[in-house]
């Protein structure tokens, strides 16, 4: 059974992308300073970082660049974690990591500028509307904590939020002006182009099928060839298989579906008139952003995945119509899905062995900007930088309790989360 993506990727993001990339499979036996496994944003930014440090890098992608979550995401650039605010992040992961995270959106947009990546990037801000009074209060605290770190964040009143999103369905919230949105597929493909231009050997259709240790060397095998290397960075995220025994068991891969409207009619000018991205405070998250042609791209998860391609667009349309009645006459024209690596504590984790193998995992649905800064941490980890100097302290592989049962059934908790969301005041 393959662990990499075999279902249809986002045709919308591919259609809208002017960035193109293709590369040949590995078909030889060779050596490298570092092998990066996985051709998403994590793998590509890590490869670029390692190349910048003068390493000879081979990147192996099982399918095509962007075939994983990176090419399927909603595209919101969010320099914050899903559940935890700055104080908790500092407490749990340390001040160095918090500083790194505050620069995550800057890093992503810098990469776009540095490599001239055409991905419809809009740095128009990211909004978190609050779905209850209590959440609006917490949002104010969140904004204050971020602002104290010199992040361009501030609270929004109920009226201000209504103006910004074009709906009075929320109780206020907060804004991170450094965020925005991108075409995530185009960004990923642009990174691959840049990596190749910088001298990274990128091989698509080259799944790493085994990873074995021989003396002080790792042997990475693909169907067409092998690479001998002292160091391996594994960036396979929610598509992680069994290359590193135990890694897959540290996460629960959750499928998130996406759907987009046809370009909106005139009422669309009132929805997100400032073109920000937004994700609300529900556990069963509601979120949306406009694409470059004025479609609304939104999404969600399903407890029961049966007939997802028929049901999900209808569910999203219903939610959008509750947000603004103008959506009642809109057609949902796109559907796709992808896998997100969730951790029990909703925090990203860095893992490494003593012999040159390292990985970070656990984006918890907010990985686009995070991956761009975790590249530096992963490059440090794979290059033997001591634990004390890493921006994120490595943790041992700790399996999710009852993983064989929890992993395939985690989505069944959704109705309970919705019920909790509806009870919040
Ligand atoms: C539907 C959806 C919406 C999302 N929306 C947002 C958003 O709006 N904002 C945000 O910040 N985050 C979002 N995310 C999360 C974000 O997309 C991810 O955190 C990020 O793209 C992860 O990048 P990655 O490189 O770590 O993993 P991926 O992009 O998943 O890349 C992993 C790659 O590893 C490859 N692979 C697996 N096994 C092997 C092997 N054995 N050999 C070689 N290659 C292998 C896979 O083919 C895949 O290409 C979303 C995710 C999904 C699924």
Question: What value, to the nearest 5°, has the Cα angle with vertex 411 and ends 409 and 413?
Answer: 95
Task: Please list, in sequence order, all residues whose beta carbon lies within 8 angstroms of the beta carbon of residue 65, skipping any fewer than 6 positions away.
Answer: 21, 23, 39, 40, 44, 71, 188, 189, 192, 202, 204
Q: From its phi and psi, is residue 368 left (phi > 0), alpha (psi between -120 and 50) or beta?
A: alpha
Instruction: Evaluate: CB of 348 within 6 angstroms of ligand 1.
Output: no
Q: Please give the average per-residue pLDDT across 406-421, as a whole number.
A: 92
Q: What distance in angstroms lies between residue 265's CA and the mean position of ligand 1's atoms?
A: 32
Q: What distance in angstroms lies between residue 69's CA and the mean position of ligand 1's atoms?
A: 3
pLDDT (tens digit, 9 = 90+) per residue, 331-358? 999 999 999 999 999 999 999 999 999 9
C-alpha distance across the termini of the chain, in Å: 45
- Substitution site in 36, 75, 236, 298 for ligand 1 pocket (most atoms within 8 Å of beta carbon): 236
Q: How far is CA 46 from CA 17, 81, 221, 377, 378, in A?
A: 23, 20, 20, 9, 7
Domains of the chain: 11-125+178-408 (3.50.50.60), 126-177 (no CATH)
pLDDT at 265: 83
**What are 20's two structure tokens?**
């193109």
pLDDT at 264: 95
Q: Which atom of ligand 1 is nearest to the CA of 338?
A: 53
Q: Which atom of ligand 1 is nearest to the CA of 5?
A: 47
Please tell me the number of Cα atoms within 13 Å of 309 on its side-chain side: 8
Q: What is the percent of the chain with per-residue pLDDT over 70, rounded to a whole number?
A: 99
For residue 344, the SS3 value is: coil
126: pLDDT strictly greater than 60: yes
Q: Please give the average per-residue pLDDT across 386-407, as a whole number.
A: 95
DSSP 158: H
Q: Is 18 exposed, middle or buried (0-12, 13-18, 19+ CB in 10 A)?
A: exposed
pLDDT at 2: 62
Q: How far is CA 313 from CA 91, 295, 388, 412, in A?
A: 39, 14, 47, 19
C-alpha 37/C-alpha 233 separation (Å) is 6
Instruction: Evaluate: CB of 67 within 6 angstroms of ligand 1.
Output: yes
Widest distance between CA atoms in the chain: 66
Contact in structure between 361 and 371 (CB atoms under 8 Å): no
pLDDT at 8: 72
Q: Whose CA is nearest to atom 3 of ligand 1?
A: 73
For residue 31, the SS3 value is: strand
Contact in structure between 120 and 182 (CB atoms under 8 Å): yes
What number of residues does the chain have?
425
Instruction: Work out the pLDDT band at 124, boundaries 50, 70, 90.
Output: very high
Sheet containing 34-37: which strands, arranged edge to edge?
A: 201-203, 57-60, 34-37, 231-234, 357-361, 349-352
For the chain, what is the total number of helices (H) and then of strands (E)? Answer: 12, 20
Q: What is the percent of the chain with per-residue pLDDT over 90, rounded to a whole number?
A: 96
**What are 126's two structure tokens?**
């990211």
Instruction: Evaluate: CB of 3 within 6 angstroms of ligand 1.
Output: yes
Contact in structure between 23 and 204 (CB atoms under 8 Å): yes
DSSP symbols for 58-126: EEE-SS-TT-SGGGTS--EE--S-SS--HHHHHHHH-HHHHHHHHTHHHHHHHHHHHTT--S--B---E
pLDDT (tens digit, 9 = 90+) per residue, 30-63? 999 999 999 999 999 999 999 999 999 999 999 9
Contact in structure between 63 and 204 (CB atoms under 8 Å): yes
pLDDT at 154: 97
For residue 322, the SS3 value is: helix
Q: Please give the average per-residue pLDDT across 83-95, as a whole number.
A: 95
DSSP symbols for 45-61: HHHHHHHHTT--EEEE-
pLDDT (tens digit, 9 = 90+) per residue, 227-255? 999 999 999 999 999 999 999 999 999 99
Instruction: Evaluate: CB of 37 within 6 angstroms of ligand 1.
Output: yes
**What are 416's two structure tokens?**
């309970």
Q: Please give the average per-residue pLDDT across 88-110, as a whole number.
A: 97
Q: Please give the average per-residue pLDDT across 360-364, as a whole number.
A: 97
Average pLDDT taken over every residue of the chain: 96
1: pLDDT strictly greater than 60: no
Model confidence, pTM? 0.97
Q: What distance in angstroms lies between residue 68's CA and the mean position of ligand 1's atoms?
A: 4
- Substitution site in 64, 73, 204 for ligand 1 pocket (most atoms within 8 Å of beta carbon): 73
Instruction: Evaluate: CB of 366 within 6 angstroms of ligand 1.
Output: yes
Q: How far is CA 100 from CA 43, 363, 376, in A?
A: 18, 15, 10
């Amino acid at each position: 059974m393959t662990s990499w993506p075999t279902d249809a990727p986002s045709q919308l993001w591919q259609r809208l992308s002017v960035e193109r990339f293709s590369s040949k499979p590995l078909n030889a036996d060779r050596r490298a300073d570092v092998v990066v496994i996985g051709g998403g944003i994590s793998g590509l930014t890590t490869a670029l970082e390692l190349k910048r440090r003068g390493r000879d890098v081979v990147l192996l992608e099982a399918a095509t660049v962007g075939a994983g979550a990176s090419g399927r995401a909603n595209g919101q650039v969010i320099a914050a974690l899903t559940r935890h605010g700055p104080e908790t992040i500092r407490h749990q992961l340390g001040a160095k990591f918090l500083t790194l995270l505050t620069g995550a959106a800057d890093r992503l947009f810098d990469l776009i500028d540095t490599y001239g990546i055409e991905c419809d990037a809009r740095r128009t801000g990211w909004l978190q509307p609050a779905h209850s009074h209590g959440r609006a209060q917490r949002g104010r605290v969140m904004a204050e904590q971020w602002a104290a770190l010199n992040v361009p964040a501030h609270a929004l009143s109920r009226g201000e939020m209504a103006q910004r999103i074009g709906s009075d369905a929320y109780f206020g919230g907060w804004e991170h002006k450094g965020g925005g949105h991108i075409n995530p597929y185009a960004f990923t493909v642009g990174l691959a182009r840049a990596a190749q231009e910088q001298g990274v050997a990128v091989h698509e259709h080259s799944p790493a099928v085994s990873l074995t240790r021989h003396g002080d060397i790792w042997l990475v095998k693909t169907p067409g060839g092998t690479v001998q290397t002292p160091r391996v960075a594994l960036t396979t995220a929610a598509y992680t298989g069994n290359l590193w025994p135990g890694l897959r068991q540290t996460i629960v891969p959750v499928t998130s579906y996406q759907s987009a409207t046809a370009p909106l009619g005139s009422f669309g000018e009132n929805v997100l008139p400032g073109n920000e991205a937004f994700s609300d405070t529900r556990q069963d998250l509601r979120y949306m952003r406009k694409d470059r042609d004025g479609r609304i791209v939104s999404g969600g998860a399903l407890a029961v995945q049966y007939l997802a391609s028929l049901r999900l667009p209808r569910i999203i349309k219903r939610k959008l119509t509750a947000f603004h009645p103008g959506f009642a006459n809109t057609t949902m024209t796109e559907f796709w899905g992808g896998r997100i690596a969730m951790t029990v504590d909703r925090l990203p984790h860095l893992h490494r062995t003593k012999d040159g193998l390292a990985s970070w995992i656990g984006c918890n649905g907010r990985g686009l900007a995070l991956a761009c800064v975790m590249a530096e941490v992963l490059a440090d980890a794979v290059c033997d930088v001591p634990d004390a100097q890493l921006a994120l302290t490595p943790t041992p592989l700790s399996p999710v309790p009852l993983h064989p049962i929890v992993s395939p059934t985690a989505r069944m908790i959704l109705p309970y989360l919705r019920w909790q969301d509806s009870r919040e005041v």
